[in-house]
């Protein structure tokens, strides 16, 4: 028995395809992509008329909090949230408790995700043991266990010598570095963007330099070692020039922007509402506009969520709460509304930024491509649906995000992972 998706507008960046086609899936592999596939009586048929049919979305930056903080999220609930958002592959950050700094914990996450079976969870390994910045993790052991990347996300490795040694090791294995860029010595208790808004709220601010200084350092280390570096959650106007100039020099660098950073500004912040506290913070309209410009021009080439769940009790503490919001269930709709409908990017570019480009950066040629022989991971997105975002509708554990009641256009209606429908009727 085959699964056939008919009449959809297939958006496949690797082949620059944007046309009405049918897709045939046998088992967990795409077997045909062509016009007018004729089903037989035993085939299951999905009519995708009026919908975008994209390679399964890949989110390069999520926190599933498993092991150790499963009151916030776990692999099963996080996978459900991913499937609802059209995401078939996620990269899980290692700042769990205990930190994922060894192959045993990598295997734990991979095995648990496989048993859940709703999305592909690729566990990222930490750069240093316990994320303490003092001694390298078992990088070679974790590479052998199948990590897709290394990261110290949640903080930066402030010891440049240790970081350089890590980059040398992973460069030899062609494993990328996911860089959280934050000069901890400049944060100084900041909880939101430094500027007029922080002054008016009486809160300590986080300047753009906190991010920019480490971006420049990390790019220089990657250039020296030959490592592939991916800058996580870029938020500043200066990031545009930093990444653009590094690419012009031939550095193997890419950058991601999160929906909250290309949508919100500090002027949207509601004083005392912890749902507006994230790291890096939402910044000025000028910063947001440079991020949008970078996405329009391809300077930034990935859209990720930094899905960072916390309990309602934690986020009820306002700007004394932990940094982080959730985003898996809203990212596709926000991207379509803010970037595609505004004309900044095309639907095909949306598919590239949310699927094909992450696959390329990770060296996964089996993913992000609707072509015969590739993984049968498909996201079906209906651009005609208009709805309001309400946290009560979320299937993940955490409901904390700053888009409550926001009207958006376009919605994921079906997610196919490994040839199986994991979300949608």
How many Cβ atoms are within 10 Å of 243's Cβ, its own excluded? Answer: 22
Catalytic entry in 66, 74, 287, 306: 306
The helix (run of H) or strand (run of E) holding residue 222 is helix 208-225
Q: How many residues does the structure list for the chain?
A: 425
Closest CA to 324 of 218, 244, 233, 206: 233
Place 234 in a pLDDT band, splitting at 50, 70 and 90.
very high
Question: Candidates 2.30.40.10, 3.20.20.10, 3.40.605.10, 3.40.190.10; correct CATH number of 2-52+375-424?
Answer: 2.30.40.10
Phi, psi of 161 (to 5 degrees): -65, -45
Strands 3-12 and 17-26: antiparallel
Q: Is 307 annotated as a binding residue?
A: no
Give mean pLDDT, residues 13-28: 98
364 annotated ligand-binding residue: no
- Judged by DSSP in three states, 92 sits in strand
Sign of the dihedral defined by the CA atoms of residues 213, 219, 223, 226, in that order? positive
User: Is 218 marked as binding a ligand?
Assistant: no
* C-alpha–C-alpha distance, residues 167 and 163, integer Å: 6
Q: What are 180's two structure tokens?
A: 């959280």
Active site residue 47: no
d(CA 142, CA 125): 7
**Per residue in 204-232, pLDDT tens?**
999 999 999 999 999 999 999 999 999 99
Strands 57-62 and 87-92: parallel
Coil, helix or strand at residue 294: helix
Quick count: other Cβ atoms within 10 Å of Cβ 214?
22
State yes or no: pLDDT of 1 exceeds 90: no
- State the pLDDT at residue 102: 98
Any idea what DSSP says for residue 241? H
Q: Output the six-digit token pair for 69.
A: 């903080």
The overall average pLDDT reported for the chain is 98
Q: Report whether 37 contacts 24 (CB < 8 A).
A: yes
Report whether pLDDT(358) > 90.
Answer: yes
- The answer to the question of whether 12 is labelled as a binding residue is no
Q: At 329, is the pLDDT very low, low, confident or very high (cuts 50, 70, 90)?
A: very high
Judge whether residue 124 has pLDDT over 90.
yes
On whether 279 is known to bind a ligand per the annotation, the reply is: yes
41-94, pLDDT tens digit by residue?
989 999 999 999 999 999 999 999 999 999 999 999 999 999 999 999 999 999
Task: State pLDDT tens for residues 268-326.
Answer: 999 999 999 999 999 999 999 999 999 999 999 999 999 999 999 999 999 999 999 99
Tokens 């089996």 identify what position? 366
CA dist 365 → 10, 179, 235, 242, 359 (Å)? 18, 23, 29, 28, 7
Taking CA atoms, 5 is separated from 25, 358, 415, in Å, by 8, 24, 12
323 is in an annotated binding site: yes
For residue 150, give the nearest of 132, 180, 126 by alpha carbon.
Answer: 126
How confident is the model at residue 425, as a pLDDT? Answer: 73
Nearest 5°: phi and psi at 344?
-70, -40
306 is in an annotated binding site: yes
Helix (H) or strand (E) holding 246: helix 237-248
* Helix residue ranges per DSSP H, 2-85: 75-84
Could you state, in order of their start, the residue ranges of all structural domains in the chain? 2-52+375-424, 56-369
CB 138 within 8 A of CB 102: yes
**CATH architecture of residue range(s) 56-369:** Alpha-Beta Barrel (3.20)
DSSP assignment, residue 342?
T
């Amino acid at each position: 028995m085959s699964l056939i998706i008919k009449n959809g507008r297939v958006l496949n960046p690797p082949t620059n395809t944007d046309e009405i086609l049918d897709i045939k899936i046998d088992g967990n592999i795409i077997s045909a992509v062509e016009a007018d596939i004729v089903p037989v009586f035993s085939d299951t048929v999905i009519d995708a008329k009026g919908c975008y049919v994209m390679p399964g979305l890949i989110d390069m930056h999520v926190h599933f909090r498993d092991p150790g903080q499963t009151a916030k999220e776990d692999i099963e609930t996080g996978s459900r949230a991913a499937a609802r958002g059209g995401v078939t592959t996620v990269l899980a950050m290692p700042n769990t408790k205990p930190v994922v700094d060894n192959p045993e914990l990598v295997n734990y996450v991979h095995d648990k995700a496989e048993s859940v079976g709703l999305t592909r969870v690729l566990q990222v390994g930490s750069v240093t043991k316990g994320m303490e910045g003092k001694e390298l993790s078992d990088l070679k052991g974790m590479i052998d266990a199948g990590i897709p990347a290394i990261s110290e996300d949640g903080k930066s490795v402030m010891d440049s010598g240790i970081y350089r040694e890590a980059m040398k090791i992973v460069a030899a294995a062609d494993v990328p570095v996911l860089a959280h860029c934050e000069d901890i010595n400049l944060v100084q208790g900041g909880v939101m963007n430094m500027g007029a808004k922080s002054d008016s709220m009486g809160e300590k601010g986080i300047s753009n330099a906190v991010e920019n200084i480490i971006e420049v350092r990390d790019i220089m280390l990657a250039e020296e070692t030959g490592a592939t570096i991916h800058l996580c959650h870029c938020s500043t106007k200066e990031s545009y020039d930093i990444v653009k100039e590094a690419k012009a020099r031939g550095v193997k660098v890419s950058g991601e922007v999160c929906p909250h950073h290309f949508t919100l500004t500090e002027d949207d912040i509601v004083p005392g509402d912890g749902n507006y506290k994230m790291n890096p913070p939402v910044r000025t309209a000028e910063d947001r506009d440079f991020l949008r410009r970078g996405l329009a021009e391809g300077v930034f080439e990935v859209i990720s969520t930094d899905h960072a769940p916390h309990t309602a009790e934690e986020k009820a503490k306002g700007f004394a709460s932990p940094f982080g919001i959730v985003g898996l269930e809203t990212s596709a709709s926000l991207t379509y509304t803010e970037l595609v409908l505004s004309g900044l990017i095309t639907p095909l570019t949306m598919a590239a930024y949310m699927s094909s480009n992450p696959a390329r950066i990770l060296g996964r040629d089996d993913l992000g491509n609707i072509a015969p022989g590739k993984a049968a991971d498909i996201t079906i997105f209906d651009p005609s649906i208009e709805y309001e975002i309400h946290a009560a509708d979320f299937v993940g554990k955490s409901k904390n995000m700053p888009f409550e009641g926001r009207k958006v256009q376009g919605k994921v209606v079906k997610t196919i992972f490994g040839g199986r429908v994991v979300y949608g009727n």
